Amino acid sequence: MPPLAVSGGDPSGVGPEIAITAWKLRKTADVPAFFLIADPDLIAARAKSLGETIPLKVCDPDEAAALFPDFLPVVPLKNSQTDSPGVPLAENAAGTVEAIQRAVGYAFDGKAAAVVTCPIAKKPLYEAGFAHPGHTEFLAELAEAHTKKVCKPVMMLAGPQLRAVPVTIHIPLAEVPKALTSEEILAVSRITARELKEKFGIARPRLALSGLNPHAGEGGALGKEDDAIIRPAVEVLAAEGIAVRGPLPADTMFHAPARATYDAAICMYHDQALIPAKALAFDETVNVTLGLPFIRTSPDHGTAFDIAGKGVARPDSLIAALRLARKLADNTRK
């Protein structure tokens, strides 16, 4: 099985140092083999600034697995980058985008078992002309360019105690009731059920759909959307043979006995999913993109410009993302 491809993310953030630290912990933390797609000079400079002595080896993806036990394998970018911890630069955007493109390309070429992405920041990318709303949309476009098929990416926050999937994501809370449709709930739920089976190895996935309103609308007294939009979607999913329950009151869905009754929570908006996922396991939760023709995971945190270069960034979420990517790749192969 090939190693994992790690795109370095925004080099002004913590991506370079958590990748360095993850490699340093490869033996004690059971980190699977990966290669980092980055500017080797920047990685060396960041390691030096942190007082780290890292045996870095510039290589091709095919050489990375053999090198990994003794060297940090770095597949070099064509676009050089400037090491500026905490100060995002538009001039670094070309390399950030290149790393993502090449990671996806290596996954399609069979040179990488999965794609693991370090955090990016939208502002410097937008300043450089990046035309996509975010990381996930860009990955979907790259996948479509390779497959010539439309992809629907679905965000999952996967932790040791909870898998949570938001139906609506980066929109204002006031816009959620207008954006929420039975069709969108069905699409997200079907993709989640399919990939829980194919990639997570769960024979008959169980889904729990949250309500939108307090008490799941309480029969219409606290909102009509639960009965008008969510319940019909649940009925369709059940008729298709998917093990599903809902709409359930969101305030009673996330304690331990409730979590034991389902394999993934389908939530109606961003914070309804991400708050319980991060509250339960902030450092171990992984962002997984479902619905792509390759495996993609990412830490559940951002660039953390405020601590970049200070040697305090924890690699826990990146290590969890690497481990989960390897597990999903192994399950998919089987």
Query: Per the annotation, does 170 bind a ligand?
Result: yes
Q: CB–CB of 146/106 below 8 Å?
A: no
Output the CA angle 246-247-253, nearest 5 degrees: 80
**Distances from the Cα of 28 to the Cα of 32, 67, 315, angstroms:** 11, 18, 13
Give the three-class secondary structure for 302. coil
Query: Per the annotation, does 136 bind a ligand?
Result: yes
Whole-angstrom distance, CA of residue 205 vs CA of residue 72:
38
Q: Output the six-digit token pair for 149.
A: 């098929």
C-alpha closest to that of 37 among 66, 83, 72, 84: 72
CB neighbours of 247 closer than 8 A, spacing ≥ 6? 209, 210, 211, 212, 216, 217, 226, 230, 231, 234
Query: Per the annotation, does 57 bind a ligand?
Result: no
Query: Per the annotation, does 301 bind a ligand?
Result: no
Q: Which helix (H) or strand (E) holds 36?
A: strand 34-38
Q: CB–CB of 13/308 below 8 Å?
A: yes
E strands within 139-205? 154-158, 163-166
Q: Which helix (H) or strand (E) holds 49?
A: helix 40-49
What are the φ/ψ torsions at residue 165 (nearest 5 degrees)? -125, 115
Query: Per the annotation, does 215 bind a ligand?
Result: yes
Whole-angstrom distance, CA of residue 59 vs CA of residue 62:
8
Query: Per the annotation, does 323 bind a ligand?
Result: no
SS3 breakdown of the chain: % helix, strand, coil, rounded to 5?
A: 45, 15, 40
Could you list the residues known to form a binding site for substrate, using ranges: 135-136, 278, 287, 296
Could you list the residues known to form a binding site for a divalent metal cation, using ranges: 170, 215, 270
Could you list the residues known to form a binding site, using ranges: 135-136, 170, 215, 270, 278, 287, 296
